[in-house]
Amino acid sequence: MTDSHLTWRDILGPRDAVHLTRATLAPRRPSGLHGHDFNELFWVQNGQVRHHLPNGVTELAEGHLLFVRPGDRHALQGRGQDALVVSVTLHPDLIAGLAARHPTLAGRFFWSAAAAPVQIVRDSRQMAEINQAALRLERGARDALAAEAFLLPLLASAQDGMADLPASAPDWLAAACAAAMDPRVFREGAAGFARVAGRAHPHVSRTARRYLGQSPSDYVNARRMDYAARRLTGTADSLAEIAADCGIPNLSHFHKLFRASHGTTPASYRKAHQRDVVQP
């Protein structure tokens, strides 16, 4: 495979801090990896994508977001028809400035020291918000203010649900924690966590207890209950529908898990946090 290298000057204008591109990916295997001297945020908008890295290949689906750093080498390949990704090129000075002003970003996202780019998964409602923000970015200015208006809410939202892993934690555990945000994974419970980790269940369990301080089942249930809380406040869906979508069709068990996580019943949580839209 032949590598290539891109620079931010290839993409950004002299006064630009950000540039957004939409691309439909071909199913053919890439001829090589590419690197760049800028940070890139990309997500899968539609279909399935194969992500090639120096140490292997990962499969991405709709809702997967990756934070690619300068020096990371990678390539993308479509799987089937209509594989669409959105890529955001960010000026290196912009990213350096964010790190200086927001110390809580240290070790996360673009500032991670992990061997592979950090990956997170957003649900359908979160993706709708990101896509709306992307449209505003695409239609507006390309300056630092516009870039930060797009990027900071995304980072703040993503950081809320991220596992606070030490630098010594294996990359596969960080990837599994990110994937566990996806309903397609957490519906399977601990088995889904072990599946995306790509390791034997006993090994995954031992490693999770060491670095997360909890079992895969407890970690996944917390993600389920976070998702349930968002559904309760953002939709009119019934408790049975939400519980089933979390992979917990037993309503009694769902109530027990929700109360343990949020300190109240699902119905009380909805009543306290959901607000009707008042029309003028």
- DSSP-assigned letter for residue 29: P
DSSP string, 204-254: HHHHHHHHTSS-HHHHHHHHHHHHHHHHHHH----HHHHHHHTT---HHHH
Percent of the chain predicted with pLDDT > 70: 95
pLDDT per residue as tens digits for the range 180-205? 888 888 999 999 999 988 899 999 99
pLDDT of 279 over the 60 cut: no
Query: 4-162 — its CATH code?
Result: 2.60.120.810
pLDDT per residue as tens digits for the range 5-31? 999 999 999 999 999 999 999 999 999
- From 49-63, 164-178, 228-242, 266-280, the region with the lowest mean pLDDT: 266-280
Higher pLDDT pick, 63 / 221? 221
Measuring CA to CA, how many Å separate 142 from each of 12, 13, 274?
Answer: 9, 9, 36
Phi/psi of residue 136, each to 5°?
-65, -40
pLDDT per residue as tens digits for the range 26-59? 999 999 999 999 999 999 999 999 999 998 888 8
Tell me whether the CATH fold assigned to 4-162 matches the one assigned to 186-273: no
Distance between CA atoms of residues 188 and 263, nearest Å: 24
- The pLDDT-based confidence of 167 (bands split at 50, 70, 90) is confident
Q: What is the mean pLDDT of residues 164-187?
A: 83
Within 10 angstroms of residue 202's Cβ, the number of other Cβ atoms is 9
pLDDT per residue as tens digits for the range 121-142? 887 778 889 999 999 999 999 9
Within 10 angstroms of residue 170's Cβ, the number of other Cβ atoms is 15
Domain 186-273 CATH superfamily? Homeodomain-like (1.10.10.60)
Q: What is the pTM of this model?
A: 0.72
pLDDT per residue as tens digits for the range 77-117? 999 888 999 999 999 999 999 999 999 888 889 998 878 88
Q: Look-up: residue for tokens 């997360």?
A: 212
pLDDT of 229 over the 70 cut: yes
Q: Do the beta carbons of residue 184 and residue 173 sit within 8 Å? A: no
pLDDT of 278 over the 60 cut: no
Higher pLDDT pick, 240 / 123? 240
| Amino acid 163: pLDDT | 65
Measuring CA to CA, how many Å separate 252 from each of 255, 257, 261, 272, 273?
Answer: 5, 9, 14, 21, 22
Domain residues of the chain, as ranges? 4-162, 186-273
Q: What is the mean pLDDT of residues 157-180?
A: 78
Whose CA is closest to 66, among 34, 88, 93, 94? 88
Mean pLDDT (the chain, rounded): 89
- From 136-145, 160-169, 175-184, the region with the lowest mean pLDDT: 160-169
